[in-house]
Amino acid sequence: MSADRQQRTIRCMVAKVGLDGHDRGAHVIARAFRDAGFEVVYSGLHRAPEEVVQAAVQEDVDVLGVSILSGAHNTLIPKIIEGLREYDAFDDTLLLVGGVIPEEDAEHLKELGVAEVFGPGTSIQKTIEFIEEHAPDR
């Protein structure tokens, strides 16, 4: 019995890719996630897809939330997906995208394997509930 005292905590990474400026939004999200009991690795601004992938693999996060405002999602997100696959980490990482993404692009990203796309109006609470429901059970 004593050998089974597990301490499972949902680990997330909040990453900003692309060139857009400030990271206030990412900070707000990171703190909200923390208050929901998640462990949030925050990796800073202006990350290249390879960096995000490497960090997500090393930190072994359950959830990778990519915030992207620069409009380059159609090139950057597939690169992240490809990178995760290379490490064999794609299947048990819940990949979320946040930002201003046109409807048809969002559909396309979901076909590629993004679990959900959250637009600018999404409440953080809704995002948290989504994660709690869908975080991979490893």
Point out which residues bind another protein (CB under 8 A).
1-9, 11, 30-31, 33-44, 48, 50-51, 54-55, 57-60, 87-89
Q: Among 39, 49, 51, which residue's Cα sits nearest to residue 12?
A: 39
Instruction: State the nearest-atom distance from the C-beta of 61 to another protein, in Å.
Output: 9
Q: Which amino acid is at 46?
A: H
Instruction: State the nearest-atom distance from the C-beta of 25 to another protein, in Å.
Output: 14
Instruction: State the nearest-atom distance from the C-beta of 48 to another protein, in Å.
Output: 8
Instruction: State the nearest-atom distance from the C-beta of 34 to another protein, in Å.
Output: 4
Measured from the CB atom, the residue of 4 and 104 that comes closer to another protein is 4
User: In Å, how far are 26, 44, 77, 85, 91 from 52, measured between CA atoms?
Assistant: 14, 10, 10, 13, 16
Pairwise CA distance, residues 47 & 3, whole Å: 40
Measured from the CB atom, the residue of 6 and 103 that comes closer to another protein is 6
Sign of CA dihedral 119, 125, 129, 131: positive
Measured from the CB atom, the residue of 55 and 72 that comes closer to another protein is 55
Mapping DSSP to helix (H, G, I), strand (E, B) and coil, where does residue 106 land? helix
Measured from the CB atom, the residue of 42 and 130 that comes closer to another protein is 42
Q: How far is CA 98 from the centre of its chain?
A: 8
